[in-house]
Amino acid sequence: MSPAPHRDDTGAPWTRADAAGVLVRPGPGDHKYTRGVVGLCTGSARYPGAAVLGAEAALRTGPGMLRYLGPAETARAVLARRPECVPGPGRVQVLVLGSGMDAAEARRRWLGLRHDGTRAGAAAGPDVSAGTDGGTAGADAVPVVLDAGAIGLVGSAVGDGHPVVVTPHAGELAALFAQAGEGRFGTRAAVEAEPELAALTAARRWGAVVLLKGAATHVATPRGRRLRVEVGTHWLASAGTGDVLAGCLGTVLASLAARGRSDDDALAEGAATAALLHARAAELASGGGPLLALELAEALAPAVAELLTHAADAAPAETAGNGRDRPTP
Ligand SMILES: NC(=O)C1=CN([C@@H]2O[C@H](COP(=O)(O)OP(=O)(O)OC[C@H]3O[C@@H](n4cnc5c(N)ncnc54)[C@H](O)[C@@H]3O)[C@@H](O)[C@H]2O)[C@@H](O)CC1
Ligand SMILES: Nc1ncnc2c1ncn2[C@@H]1O[C@H](COP(=O)(O)OP(=O)(O)O)[C@@H](O)[C@H]1O
């Protein structure tokens, strides 16, 4: 069974046909650098597993290359599992920051990456080691996914000119609102009561694309576009599956950025596509029973293959609900 489109009057359901339009098969003219390179700055001495899960997920979604930019001790764990991963700085088309880090470590890493030139630009070929100064960013700053401990950096990243996708669960979004002194969505219960409005409010407040995780995934843009993805199975509600989503999202966004797309619509479509792949991978990994986050990550590759196969024979009517022209509440 595939994730069912939602039929009520909330964010537009993001369909398999919509998502298939976001992914591309590699062609004869491709090499690893044309397909998108993901930079992963995730994991910590406390949570090395989050880095392993994100790396497995990013690779199984099919990037040209994955660079691991996190702590050395965590890099060893990532490389032991996935030798395909390239450690150390270099050019990337997207940066994923914060899974498996606390806020203090995420901030330290962010300042270090910024100093090393993370903002150098998607179109021109962003280079996390380019040594450009840490001043005002240009419009071509590399897209950034802020997860877990890095969510509070959204203001800084947007202020620096990065296209940003922030990926909170309800508790993390409530904490972000509470820290900003905005009471309406300052509790987990308040976010869970109106998740779509909470995501939209945050997108407008911080000028970033918001992917709010939960039993359904809500994506919102600062201009009010809303997309929704239903989960395939509630077995997905287990530790580490969010780290998997962040890695998958990194690869989808790197592929879009490599094709020159990192505007808010592209980020939102990439976010909804990653959520849909994640939901489908959960069904494949679960088979009706418990799933492990690492198995979920592994199942992303067949989920990508299925979606690309679907693209060939998708009915045009299936793409009707992509939310581009919907009014906002
Ligand atoms: N394998 C790994 O390395 C994993 C690492 N993870 C990382 O762990 C970090 C913390 O993530 P969380 O979102 O869990 O944040 P927290 O650990 O801050 O927990 C969120 C909230 O849940 C509450 N809570 C904790 N245990 C509870 C329980 N047994 N019953 C009820 N409430 C409980 C806490 O009091 C807190 O308010 C993130 O950096 C994340 O990426 C997680 O993704 C899980 C897997
Ligand atoms: N009740 C649920 N049913 C289905 N999926 C869920 C449910 N609750 C959470 N999820 C999904 O599980 C993942 C959990 O992510 P997250 O909370 O970041 O966990 P972690 O930090 O442990 O990786 C998200 O993709 C979220 O959408």
pLDDT higher than threshold 60 for residue 1: no
Locate the ligand 1 atom nearest the alpha carbon of residue 149 and give its number: 39
User: With pLDDT > 90 as the criterion, what percentage of the chain qualifies?
Assistant: 80
- Which residue do the tokens 């398999």 mark? 16
Instruction: Indicate whether 17 belongs to any domain.
Output: no
C-alpha to C-alpha distance for 171 and 62, rounded to whole angstroms: 30
DSSP 37: E
- pLDDT value for 319: 46
For ligand 2, is residue 291 a contact (CB within 6 Å)? no
CATH of the domain at 246: 3.40.1190.20
Residue 61 reports pLDDT greater than 70: yes
Residue 284 within a domain: yes
Query: What confidence category does residue 264 fall into, taking pLDDT thresholds of 50, 70 and 90?
Result: very high
- Bridge partners of residue 218, in order along the sequence: 212, 228
Give the mean model confidence (pLDDT) for residues 303-311. 92
pLDDT band, very low/low/confident/very high, at 92 (cuts 50, 70, 90): very high
Pairing of strands 226-230, 216-220: antiparallel
State phi, psi for 259 to the nearest 5 degrees.
-95, 15
DSSP conformation letters of 63-122: -SEEEE-S-HHHHHHHHHH-TTSEES--B-SEEEE-TT--HHHHHHHHHHHHHTTGGG-S
Q: What is the pLDDT of residue 238?
A: 97
Complex prediction ipTM: 0.91
**CA torsion angle for 153, 118, 223, 304 (degrees, to 10)?**
-100
Q: What is the pLDDT of residue 310?
A: 82
Q: Is the Cβ atom of 100 under 6 angstroms away from ligand 1?
A: yes
Please indicate whether residue 167, judged by its CB atom, sits closer than 6 Å to ligand 1.
no
Q: Which residues are annotated as a binding site for (6S)-NADPHX?
A: 50, 100, 169, 243
In a domain, 15, yes or no: no
Q: What pLDDT does residue 140 have?
A: 56
* Residue 118: predicted pLDDT: 56
Domain membership of residue 235 (yes or no) is yes
**Is 38's pLDDT higher than 70?**
yes
pLDDT digits (tens, 9 = 90+) for 171-227: 999 999 999 999 899 999 999 999 999 999 999 999 999 999 999 999 999 999 999
Question: CB-based contacts of 201: which residues, under 8 Å, 6+ apart?
Answer: 184, 185
What is the 9 CA–ligand 2 centroid distance (Å)? Answer: 23
Give the structural domain span for 99: 34-312
Say whether 30 sits in a helix, a strand or coil: coil
Task: Say if 234 falls within a structural domain.
Answer: yes
The verdict on residue 320 lying in a domain is no
**pLDDT grade for 114, boundaries at 50, 70 and 90:** confident
Tally of domains in the chain:
1
- Cβ of 6 closer than 6 Å to ligand 2, yes or no, is no
> Contact, 61 vs 308, CB < 8 A?
no
d(CA 100, CA 218): 22
Q: What is the best residue among 109, 153, 243 to mutate for testing ligand 1's pocket, by most ligand atoms within 8 Å of CB?
A: 243
Grade residue 139 by pLDDT with cuts at 50, 70 and 90. Answer: very low
Of all ligands present, the nearest one to the C-alpha of 244 is: 2
Provide the edge-to-edge strand list for the sheet that holds 65-68.
12-13, 226-230, 216-220, 209-212, 164-166, 144-146, 94-97, 37-41, 65-68, 86-87
Of 269, 309, 310, 277, the C-alpha closest to 296 is: 277
Question: How far is Cα 281 from Cα 327, in angstroms, rounded to an integer?
Answer: 31
* Residue 4 maps to a domain: no
Is 40 among the domain residues?
yes
